[in-house]
C-alpha cells in the first residue's frame, strides 16, 4: 500500500439507499472519507458517494460464487487502500408471529441481518486490520426490548449485538467492533408502517421521553463519534440512541 493510499480514509456503508444509510454516507463523505456505498438496487439518485457496488446481501450470504464477485468488486473499489470503517447498516424487517413465520422468513432475516455482516467483516478483515479500522454494526432497540410480530427481526438484532461483543473478544486489538441500537428513527420505512394512521404515529412520538422520533442524522453522528471521537478504548459496546424510551417502565400510574 502506497503512502498516498494510506492517507485516504475509506468507509463502506451497506444499505446505503435507506434513510439511515443515506445519512451515514452523507456524514462520512462530508468529513472527507472515500465512501463506498452498497445496496441491493442500482445506483440511487441524489446519494453522494465516491463509489457504488450493487450487492444483494441475502444472495451474498447463500451463494459463495456471488459473494466472491461482490468481494472482488469491493476490492476494486478500495483500489489497494485499507478499509478504515465498515458500517453494517443493511437490514430487512419481516413481520410475523409464532403462527405465521416461515423457514424462508427466518433464512432471509438471518442472512441479511446477521450472517452477511459477519461474512463482510471476515472477507475484509485484512483491509480493516491494515488501516487499524473499526466496524460499526447498526442494531436496534429490538435487541433488548421488542413487541409482538417482531420475532425474526428482534432475534437477528439481539444476535448482532451478541456477535459485536464476541468479535471484540475474538479480534482483540486488531480491529474495533461496536454497535448502535436505535429506537424509532424517522425513515421512509418507519413512516410507511403508519400510513393512514397519523394518530398512532403521534402516540409513538409521545412514548419517547423526548416526545419525538429520532433522526437518521443523529445515528450517523453517533457512528462518526465512535469512529473519530478519540475513544479507541470503546470496543465491544452496544450503544443505545433511543430518546430515553429504553428507561421507561409501562405500568398503570
Domain ranges of the chain: 3-185+215-240
Give yes or no for residue 185 having a pLDDT over 50: yes
pLDDT at residue 250 in the model: 74
pLDDT tens digit sequence for 2-60: 443 457 899 999 999 999 999 999 999 999 999 999 999 998 888 888 899 999 999 99
Q: Report the pLDDT averaged over residues 192-217.
A: 92
**Are 161 and 117 a contacting pair, CB within 8 Å?**
no
Average pLDDT, the chain: 94
Q: What is the pLDDT of residues 156-181, one digit of tens each?
A: 999 999 999 999 999 999 999 999 99
**111-140 per-position pLDDT tens digit:** 999 999 999 999 999 999 999 999 999 999
Closest CA to 71 of 124, 137, 21: 124
- Statement: 3-185+215-240 belongs to CATH 3.40.50.720: yes
CA separation for the pair 30, 32 (Å, rounded):
5
Percent of the chain exceeding pLDDT 90 equals 87
Cα R_g (the chain), whole angstroms:
18
Catalytic residue among 66, 153, 201, 250: 153
The three state secondary structure string of the chain is CCHHHHCCCEEEECCCCCHHHHHHHHHHHHCCCEEEEEECCCCCCCCCCCEEEECCHHHHHHCHHHHHHHHHHHHHHHCCCCCCEEEECCCCCCCECCCCCCHHHHHHHHHHHHHHHHHHHHHCHHHHHHCCCEEEEECCHHHCCCCCCEHHHHHHHHHHHHHHHHHHHHHCCCCEEEEEEECCECCHHHHHCCCCCHHHHHHHHHHCCCCCCECHHHHHHHHHHHHHCCCCCCCCCEEEECCCHHHCCCCCC
Provide the pLDDT for residue 251. Answer: 65
Q: Residue 197 CA to chain centroid, in angstroms?
A: 28
Q: Determine whether 153 is an active site residue.
A: yes
**What is the structure's pLDDT at 46?**
80
Mean pLDDT of 65-89: 97
Q: How many CB atoms lie within 10 A of CB 198?
A: 9
Give the pTM.
0.94
Amino acid at each position: 500500500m502506497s503512502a498516498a493510499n494510506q492517507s485516504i480514509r475509506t468507509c463502506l456503508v451497506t444499505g446505503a439507499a435507506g434513510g439511515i444509510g443515506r445519512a451515514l454516507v452523507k456524514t462520512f463523505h462530508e468529513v472527507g472519507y472515500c465512501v463506498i456505498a452498497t445496496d441491493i438496487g442500482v445506483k440511487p439518485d441524489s446519494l453522494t458517494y465516491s463509489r457504488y457496488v450493487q450487492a444483494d446481501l441475502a444472495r451474498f450470504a447463500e451463494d459463495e460464487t456471488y459473494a466472491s464477485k461482490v468481494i472482488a468488486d469491493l476490492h476494486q473499489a478500495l483500489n489497494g487502500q485499507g478499509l478504515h470503517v465498515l458500517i453494517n447498516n443493511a437490514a430487512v424487517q419481516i413481520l410475523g408471529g409464532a403462527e405465521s413465520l416461515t423457514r424462508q422468513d427466518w433464512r432471509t432475516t438471518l442472512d441479511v441481518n446477521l450472517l452477511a455482516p459477519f461474512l463482510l467483516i471476515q472477507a475484509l478483515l485484512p483491509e480493516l486490520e491494515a488501516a487499524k479500522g473499526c466496524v460499526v454494526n447498526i442494531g436496534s432497540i429490538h435487541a433488548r426490548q421488542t413487541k409482538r410480530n417482531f420475532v425474526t427481526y428482534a432475534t437477528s438484532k439481539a444476535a448482532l449485538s451478541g456477535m459485536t461483543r464476541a468479535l471484540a473478544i475474538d479480534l482483540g486489538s486488531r480491529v474495533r467492533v461496536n454497535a448502535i441500537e436505535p429506537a424509532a428513527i424517522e425513515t421512509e420505512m418507519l413512516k410507511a408502517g403508519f400510513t393512514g394512521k397519523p394518530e398512532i404515529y403521534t402516540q409513538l412520538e409521545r412514548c419517547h421521553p423526548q416526545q419525538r422520533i429520532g433522526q437518521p442524522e443523529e445515528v450517523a453522528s453517533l457512528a462518526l463519534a465512535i469512529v473519530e471521537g478519540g475513544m479507541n478504548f470503546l470496543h465491544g459496546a452496544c450503544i443505545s440512541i433511543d430518546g430515553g424510551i429504553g428507561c421507561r417502565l409501562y405500568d398503570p400510574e
